[in-house]
A = this chain, B = another copy of it.
Amino acid sequence: MKRMLKVNPSDAVPIWKQIEEGVRRLVASGALIRGAPVPSVRTLAKYLRVNPATVAKAYQRLAGAGILKVKRGEGTFVEDEPPTLGSEERSNILRNGATRYASLSITMGVDRKEALEVFNSSWRKLSGKGEKAPRCFMRVN
C-alpha cells in the first residue's frame, strides 16, 4: 500500500491539489491517525521537492475543509472528527467519476466484466487490502 505522498509536477492537476487529495486519501484510508500531527509545511515541501507555498496552500484548504487543524505555535494536526459532505454533492461527485470511467471503458470497447476487474485491481493496490501494515503517520523521509 502506498502510504507515501507522491507528487508529479508534470501532471495536469495542480501540485497543491495532488497534495490535498493525497492527504485526504491518507486520512480516509486510516493511514493518518486522527489527532496526530502531520509534517510541517517546510518539511513536507523539502521532501516533495516542491515550493513551500504549494504545500501551504494544500494545508490551508484542508484546514478549511475540516480535515486538518492548525494549532498556532504547535503545528498542524489531523482533525479529530471527520468532516461531513452534503450527500447530494457526494453522490454527484461519485456518479461523475463512475460515468467517466464507464464512458472510457465503453468507448474502448471493454466489456463490463473486464472494467470491473481492472477497477478491483486498482482498488486493491490503493487500499492495500489484505496487508497488515501498521497504522502510521505521514512519512516524509
Contacts and interface: CB of A to CB of B under 8 A. Distances in A.
A122 interface: yes
Q: How many copies does the complex hold?
A: 4
A74 interface: yes
Interface string A55-88: 0000000010001011110100000001101111
B122 A99 contact: yes
A100 B28 CA distance: 11
Contact of A24 (B27, B107, B120): B107
Given A9-B72, A10-B70, A72-B15, A104 B108 contact: no
B123 A102 contact: yes
Interface residues of A, number: 56
A94 B105 contact: yes
A35 interface: no
B103 A24 contact: yes
Interface of A: 9-10, 14-15, 21, 24-25, 27-29, 63, 67, 69-72, 74, 82-83, 85-91, 93-95, 97-110, 112, 114-116, 118-123, 125-127
Given A106-B29, A108-B28, A123-B112, A98 B86 contact: no
Contact of A121 (B87, B98, B107): B98
